[in-house]
Amino acid sequence: MDIRIGNGYDVHALAPGLSLWLGGVKIESPVGCIAHSDGDVAIHALCDAILGALALGDIGKHFPDTSAEFKGIDSKILLERVMALVSSYGWSIGNADITIALQRPKLAPYIVPMRECLAGIMGISPDRVSVKATTTEKLGFVGRGEGCEVYAVVLLTKE
């Protein structure tokens, strides 16, 4: 069996009155991500991890934020397109591990829905998708509530 590992990282600034989407799930929040797309920073980091494992560049190369096609786009569609690349190269997702750094709101009620949503798009069992949330103890831009930061790691397998 052949394996590949990839890591992804993304940050979006937060602003009042915008929708907050994380891991394909809408989060009840007074702030949301400023973005060209729907701003789902968790899916963006996951896409970058997958593209990294495939050595196919990054999400900005595949879905430029200057393109009208991607304005306001549901990031779940971006993940679907990245998964089509995974399949076309003969790979499967082994597992994914995502860490979301956000000062508030608390994400605990959303962890299972995010895992189920992402697993559904990737065509794998939710027990292969980990989503973890942390604050940064009020330190840095995350701690000041200015942004949301996500790290993702993914393993690809090929028989």
- What is the Cα–Cα distance from 70 to 3, expressed in whole angstroms? 31
Told to check if 149 binds Mg ion by CB under 5 A, we report: no
- CA nearest 121: which of 75, 69, 64, 57? 75
Told to check if 44 binds Mg ion by CB under 5 A, we report: yes
How deeply is 143 buried, as exposed, middle or buried, from its count of CB atoms within 10 A (0-12, 13-18, 19+)? middle
How deeply is 106 buried, as exposed, middle or buried, from its count of CB atoms within 10 A (0-12, 13-18, 19+)? exposed
Which residue, 61 or 137, is less far from Mg ion as judged by CB? Answer: 61
Number of chain positions touching Mg ion (CB under 5 A) = 2
In this structure, are residues 126 and 35 in contact, taking their beta carbons and an 8 Å threshold? no
Kindly indicate which of the ranges 5-13, 63-71, 87-95, 147-155 contains the residues binding Mg ion, using the contact rule CB under 5 A. 5-13
Site for Mg ion in 14-43 (CB under 5 A): none
Which residue, 44 or 76, is less far from Mg ion as judged by CB? Answer: 44
Which residue, 70 or 110, is less far from Mg ion as judged by CB? Answer: 70
Which residue, 9 or 116, is less far from Mg ion as judged by CB? Answer: 9
Told to check if 76 binds Mg ion by CB under 5 A, we report: no
Which residues of this chain interact with Mg ion, rule CB under 5 A? Answer: 10, 44
